[in-house]
Chains A and B, each alone.
Chain A
């Protein structure tokens, strides 16, 4: 059947593309906010898009401040402590998205930044990430994609820095040993193919959070996703069949039109 490339081959392909989640260091907790509500700064010149983003983020439970140009955005970002910044790549005037980002990072502000751009070219993406962006989303996008990515950024930020790298991940009874790359659910050992293991690891690191297909694809296959196919669905289906044996409650849930979430059964 299929000649399966060895694991090392994939390590090789990982280097081809700048996968969004690869290699960016988690940011330090710069400020402790008294309110638990996440505060997002949206810098977007198109008023309609901005208000749509605002509405979507508010529905998601974020507090949102919208500004419509780079200067104002920079002032806001300097003066107020935000947890996240959503930054449009193309802004009117002299200060465009990359300029704002460069200025922010130069000033030592490490707030995670998600760049929105109409430019999907890979080098644009790489430029955005090099300038200090933490994630990159191409317009047009779906709001579930935006909120899932923002959630991931917040989560990444809360990972303690310098802490020992955990050697195992556990969600409910499902447990993976990161050193031996073995998986168990309760007493049952689960045998996974390398790609299935990578999928599961990513889902477990983001347990209880929506992970979109795009995010999964970028993280596990390290190409950026051209969503025409439901191929990921089939991969997840396979994984699901291995994780949930008969009589066990389902752990990987499909969020329709968006992605997946791994939850421990109640």
Chain B
């Protein structure tokens, strides 16, 4: 999976998102540092200006003679010429101090900057202020700005190098992100290609960290599970239809051919036709039941839902089957739930489902057996339970009995088309109910219980 071309990375969403965030962050970075730089520069200059004003004040308070002496002394002390104070006469001619020529200035008491070669031979930026004293002489106070400028420069350098680092790290990050996303998507798409090519058991790889792609992969895997189940079911149904309907069709054709072959009397013909009609009717019923299950599974019938009482429906079904049970000496008992078993559903379908369960129970109960129908209150709503004391369903067959046309070995020789429980299962799915088969020791207990939807 390392065959990711660099040219493909810029097309990945992760890379583009990375770039976008880089740009956003870079912009914020520039704005923040620009602001800090600007604020610092303004603050430092203002500090210098305040210093200059203070020095003018201090000097102005000294007597002219003292001031001149002080300035001469200061020049000697301030060897670095950090505060080169100077005194000029009223025409700007040098009297005492560090700076021999009065630099050009815009106005009195306004800070101005100029470059000055100091006595140590260094060319320095100087910020100065010119003040006319009471005796008309001119006082210049000044400050060497070199350190401040150097600090600002350092700040700018830090900004630029920080920005460059950010850009590089961000770009590398975006490329890495893009690369890893690309690799993951390549893994996903190669899995999908495998599935498209027919390997329906394939699933999308997940990392287990529940990120976006993992979640989508989970959803797709769920869809694939369902698809696989449906495909298997369709295939199973096709096989079963082919297998199960071939037998009656063969019988039908054989019967008709026999009638054609032999010179029959009229009543014998009539008999042949009768048995052919019976076979064909059986086939028609099977097809109709198949169609019905498909229709229920198409689940368009939810439009027909209303509030129904399972107690009533189960009572109707039990009452409907009671004569059939009685004929075989089976004790059929019905227990309603003490509270009204109301839920939303399709009364017709629930009745059919109950009838199918009862039909099975009667079919598989021994003569003089017993069948119990009960409506029970479950956590998520009412449910229906039908138990009998027949042979039961082997644990290995408990899933298979819900398949269309499936008939367990023990039931192959009883009447029926193997669609009853599939129909119940389809009704259960439409109603958000779960159909489970349990062992009733002896016999079989089938529960049709409401579950939490979804």
Contacts and interface: CB of A to CB of B under 8 A. Distances in A.
Interface SS, B side: helix
Interface in B276-327: 277-278, 281, 284-285, 287-289, 291-292, 295, 300-301, 303-304, 306, 308-309, 312-313, 315-316, 318-324, 327
Interface in A193-232: 195, 221, 223-224, 226-229, 231
Interface stretch (A53-61, A117-125, A173-181): A117-125
Contacts, number: 97
A5 interface: yes
A12 B308 CA distance: 10
A107 B303 CA distance: 31
Interface stretch (B348-356, B399-407, B442-450): B348-356
A123 B301 CA distance: 8
Interface in A108-154: 120-123, 140, 142
Given A10-B316, A234-B323, A226 B300 contact: no
A13 B295 contact: no
Residues of B in contact with A, size category = 35 or more
Contact of A17 (B281, B303, B336, B348): B348
B347 interface: yes
B359 interface: yes
B348 A229 contact: no
B319 A2 contact: yes
A3 B335 contact: yes
Nearest to A6: B315
Contacts of B359: 228-229, 231
A223 B306 CA distance: 15
B342 interface: no
Chain A CB within 10 Å, residue with most, of B285, B288, B309, B313: B288
9 contacts: A13-B347, A16-B348, A122-B301, A122-B346, A223-B316, A224-B348, A228-B285, A231-B355, A234-B324
Interface of A: 1-5, 9-10, 12-13, 16-17, 120-123, 140, 142, 195, 221, 223-224, 226-229, 231, 234-235, 237-238, 256-257
Give the 4 A-B residue pairs with the shortest CB-CB distance, closest first: A16-B347, A5-B315, A234-B323, A123-B304
Interface of B: 274, 277-278, 281, 284-285, 287-289, 291-292, 295, 300-301, 303-304, 306, 308-309, 312-313, 315-316, 318-324, 327, 331-336, 346-348, 351-352, 355-356, 359, 416-417, 419-420
